[in-house]
Structure 1
Amino acid sequence: ALEGDALALGLAPAMSLADARAQEPGLRVFDLDPHADQDWLERLCDGCARYTPVVALDPPHGLMLDITGCAHLWGGEEALARAAADRLEGAGLTVRHALAGTPEAAHALARFPTAPAPDEDAAVRRLPVEALGLEPDSATALRRAGLRTVADLAARPAAALAARFGEEAVDALHRLLGLGQRPLAPRRPRPALRVERRFAEPMASTAHALQVLEEMAAEAGEHLAERGQGGRKFEALFFRSDGLAFPLRVETGLPVRDAPAIMRLVRERIDALSDPLDPGFGFDMLRLTVPRAEPMAPTQLALEGGTVRREESVAALVDRLSIRAGRQRIRRLVPGDSHIPEQAQLALPAIENRAPAAWPEWQEASDPPMRPLHLFDPPQPIEVVAEVPDGPPHRFRWRRALHEVTRFEGPERIAPEWWQARDGAVEGQSIGRTRDYYRVEDARGRRYWIFRHGLYGTEAAHPRWYVHGLFA
């Protein structure tokens, strides 16, 4: 990539670095960092949310804004586009923009500027075939066939174009001409609630911005209360005067609409940031959105507290821990719909999964099967000696120690979940054979839960044995 001054010196993007340095010894070179470029583009995308709620990334270096219904707030489409371009150029960026009726036309007109045309359709038809966004080989094939512009393609029958150059060329042509359209994928979906504050002068203090945000949280709570809802996800966007925006997201385990509770989580999030929230030349706009809201019924509180109060206290603790340590590190055990022992319970993010009111009870008349206090995941392999191949273990070696079996119970057979099998394997599992479990006790009174993996003859010639758990 080259800046404008480098292009003016006669340098070209395809030129080697050695040739460029020979032509211009004082050339400044920077390493390409795609991740930093993507992060910068996403921040610009968030910053352009001040103009319209529907902003999408247009990789590798573009943004797409749907300004339908928003242009009148800025004095028209041209005024809105000029305001956005001026703000980005003020941040040191080189901006090319275009207004069109479809995303594909705007994309092409911004990247392939043409001579002034009487209308959008005429401007689009003057574009080169490269504006279709096809692969380089396809664009070269079109040019070799004498089709150099969009107008040349539009004059040909669609069936003939599809037969020679493929359906992709016809689809791209139709989208560019407005005969078809691919919907935008906005970076942020439409929230359930949104509250904004704009300032006449940029606010250079983060503390003052948080005070305003608390007022906005109280206003959002009032709107949620009118709907009988509470928020599960909140997002605060701090818009800087240089065009960038910094998002802060918090989640809750239970619906909330209390402003102090929301702000406590926001401050926890700010304290957990690796880089502090930088106001730069000041924040000129704040936005608080509620992407996810759920019904929140009134609760009756007992004087001595009770289960409702305890549930709210635990949920508040989970919210704060998830923000500090990360949502994937704070987990809660929930029952799993599986009879495979290591999948009978799942460790899921606690902030997304409420604690079950009660674990499912054993539905059969007999007692539930005994399970060890400690479970190994994955099971640990052992060497077993049995009197008969498919019989109970007589002795086994585990961790280089030999254990003589004095008593055993079993077998308890657990079949694989055949309904999830694909090509003989069980999806998401490393063990997909029948298991025969035994509860065994060695000469020193220690009890183990071991199993034989596979049936002799039908599933394995020499099934292996594993220790899966330890009893107290």
Structure 2
Amino acid sequence: MDEEAERLRLKVGMGIADARAMYPAIEIVAEDPAADRRLLEALADWCDRYTPLVAFDGTDGLFLDITGCAHLFGGEEALLDGILASFFEQGFRTRAGLAGTPGTAWAAAHFSLPGKTLEDGDERSFLEDLPLFVLRLEPKTIASLESVGLRTVGSVMAAPRAPLARRFGAMLLLRLDQALGEVEEAVSPRLPVPALSVERHLAEPIGLVEDIEQLIPKLATSLKQDFERRGEGARLFELLLFRVDGAVSRIAARASLPLREPVPVGRLFHERLAALGAALEPGYGFDLVRLSAFETAALDTPQADLDGKAAAADEDVALFSDRVRARLGRAAMLMPLLVDSHLPERAASLVPADGGPPERKAPAVPRENDDYPSRRAPERPLRLFSRPEPIDVPVTEIPEGPPLTFRWRRAMHRVARAEGPERIAPEWWLQPAAEAAADIAGDGGKDRRKAGRQAAEDAGTARLTRDYFRVEDADGRRYWLFREGLYGKTDAVPCWYLQGVSA
């Protein structure tokens, strides 16, 4: 409720009928909890200019842990007055309290003047005459305490603790001790706290992208000194732009390798700002710019060459990929990740190149030598299809042999040479689930095989063994074919597919 509602003697939780009985002309507007939450989150973002430790207090309040931050704003009273004045300029009527404990600060904000500052050690004297509601207890507990004559915090302080705990529960004493500072109450920030942060307060607000880009390397230079002292760099940077009207823009940029040099950091945000374009609304300008570093990692100085220049081939590639991702998004740069599967189309998957799962090393392939000529690496086509394409094979040499001809994409190909078969079985560790799915689906003939194969794919694997052939047609083009299924092992004739092409 605002002050006008309090003046009209309305109460939280009052029914609409009762309110209209008192004031027939009252206007009723349906609540929108989602919009209220978004507004509170926007206010919490704006309060980041005072401290990174901002937490929610229910649906209508914020906790700010300003430990070590007050001197940046001229002291605690000046900070509190500045917060209240800024909220008033944005159109909000707020009440605030500042104390050594979250519980006492909450009480000061709800049962005192709009801005109340308490010195350390004044918690007990301030809370004595206040009602029990300031201890943030359940209404049922408050009603029980009032029924035995305990109506103020001072009366609870004077009562024996053991009987209070037995009758009203341990939460009563916990809240009292937290308000008095005898038990620490942590304020959990709503967002992760950066490892390092540097900011610049601007006398004149800026609104041009060029001005923001010129400011980023200067902020990164300040961060570099701290990074060098710690021997680290950052893989995730965040730029916060605080607008004069209270709006906050958060722009994140991720790097493949830890960075601490100002120029690469500036290039990353140049791409991010260019990608945002008109989405970044400066309004009346930004009066505070902050650059924060997350996900720090050790960064050693690279060994320089004889000419004094460090070998930077890998760094150049990493910076290029970082700039591409900053402009086009994480999906623009992908890397292959090996998967536990022998099936070619499932042996690898593509994941974002920044911060994805660690790349797995391919199994060692024995070198070709005279003693073990059969252990050389198998040949693979230059191009593999993401999904095998079905082909029509009218005739084969023998039931287990390669095809004589095949039709692919409406064109008939006559096989001149063939090599194989190379048998690849499905994943044995997934086979039981696939077989169970196949047994349930369909009954008899082609429908059973089609339904069984689909159920097997849904279970995570193809259940049929494959025999691969490398073939060359009469025009010299080479293909990699396979037959799925074994003759005599299925109810229908095995199907043929094209896995890839070599030329």
Same fold, judged at TM 0.5 (above): yes
Q: In the superposition, relative to structure 1, how do residues 229 and 144 fare at CA in structure 2: closer, same or farther (>3 Å)?
A: closer
Q: Is the Cα contact below 8 Å between 1:234 and 1:289 reproduced in 2?
A: yes
- Structure number with greater Rg is 2
Letter in structure 2 aligned against 1:113: F
Which residue is equivalent to 1:334? 337
Question: 2:276 matched to 1:273?
Answer: yes
The answer for the alignment partner of 1:439 in structure 2 is 468
1:409 match? 421
Could you give the per-residue CA deviations for residues 100-130 of structure 1, whole angstroms, max 9, x where no partner exists? 44445545664x5379999434628733398
Where does residue 195 of structure 1 map in the other structure? 198
For residues 223 and 272 of structure 1, what CA distance do their matches in structure 2 show? 29
CA 1:335–1:174: 2 relative to 1, 3 Å: farther
| Counterparts of 2:176 and 2:484, CA distance in 1 | 63
Give the match for residue 241 of structure 1: 244
Q: Give 3-state SS (helix, strand or coil) of 1:79's partner.
A: helix
Q: TM-score, normalised by structure 2?
A: 0.65
Letter in 1 for 2:143: R
1:387 counterpart residue number: none
Q: Which residue of 1 aligns with 2:127?
A: 123
The structural deviation recorded for 1:275 is 4.9
Q: Distance in 1 between matches of 2:391 and 2:6?
A: 69
Deviation at 1:89, TM superposition (A): 2.0
* TM-score scaled by length of structure 1: 0.69
> What is the Cα deviation at residue 250 of structure 1?
1.2
Q: Relative to structure 1, is the Cα distance of residues 214 and 442 closer, same or farther in structure 2, using a 3 angstrom cutoff?
A: closer
1:348 aligned to 326, 344, 351, which one?
351
User: After superposition, where does 1:63-462 map in structure 2 within 5 Å?
Assistant: 63-103=62-102, 106-107=105-106, 110=109, 112-113=110-111, 119-121=122-124, 123=127, 126-128=131-133, 131-132=136-137, 139-140=139-140, 143=143, 146=147, 156-158=163-165, 161=168, 180-181=183-184, 183-203=186-206, 207-225=210-228, 227-273=230-276, 275-294=278-297, 295-300=299-304, 309-336=312-339, 344-352=347-355, 359-362=362-365, 366-368=375-377, 373-376=383-386, 409=421, 411-417=423-429, 430-431=459-460, 436-439=465-468, 447-449=480-482, 451=484
Unaligned runs of 5+ in 2: 394-398, 410-414, 438-457
String of CA shifts for 1:389-448, please: whole Å, max 9, x gaps.
xx979999999xxxxx99973643344447xx9xx99xxx83268663332689999754
User: Partners of 1:470 and 1:178 in 2: how far apart?
Assistant: 70
1:266 CA displacement: 1.6
Instruction: Give how far 1:190 is off.
Output: 3.8
Residue 450 of structure 2 corresponds to none
Deviation at 1:282, TM superposition (A): 3.8
Opposite residue 49 of structure 1, the aligned amino acid is D
Distance 1:310 1:325, change over 3 A: same
Given that 1:408 and 1:439 are in contact with CA atoms closer than 8 Å, whether structure 2 keeps it comes out as yes
Give 1:186 deviation, angstroms.
Answer: 2.3
CA displacement at 1:337 relative to structure 2: 5.6
Asked if the contact 2:135–2:176 (Cα under 8 Å) also holds between the matched residues in 1, the reply is: no
1:344 deviates by 3.4
Residue-by-residue CA offset, 1:223-251 (whole Å, 9 max, x unaligned): 43555543322222223334443222211
Secondary structure of 2:294 counterpart: strand
User: Residues 269 and 468 (structure 1 numbering): CA distance in 2 closer, same or farther, change over 3 Å?
Assistant: farther
Kindly tell me: are residues 257 and 371 of structure 1, through their superposed partners in 2, closer, same or farther at Cα, counting changes over 3 Å? same
CA distance in 1, matches of 2:217, 2:87: 29
* RMSD between aligned residues: 5.6
Residue 28 and residue 261 in structure 1: after superposition, are their counterparts in 2 closer, same or farther (change >3 A)?
farther
Secondary structure of 2:96 counterpart: coil
Quote the residue 1:32 is aligned against.
32
Question: Cα–Cα, structure 1 residues 48 and 414, in superposed 2: closer, same or farther, change >3 Å?
Answer: same
Shift in CA distance, 28/161, structure 1 to aligned 2, threshold 3 Å = closer
The answer as to whether partners of 1:230 and 1:296 remain within 8 angstroms in 2 is no
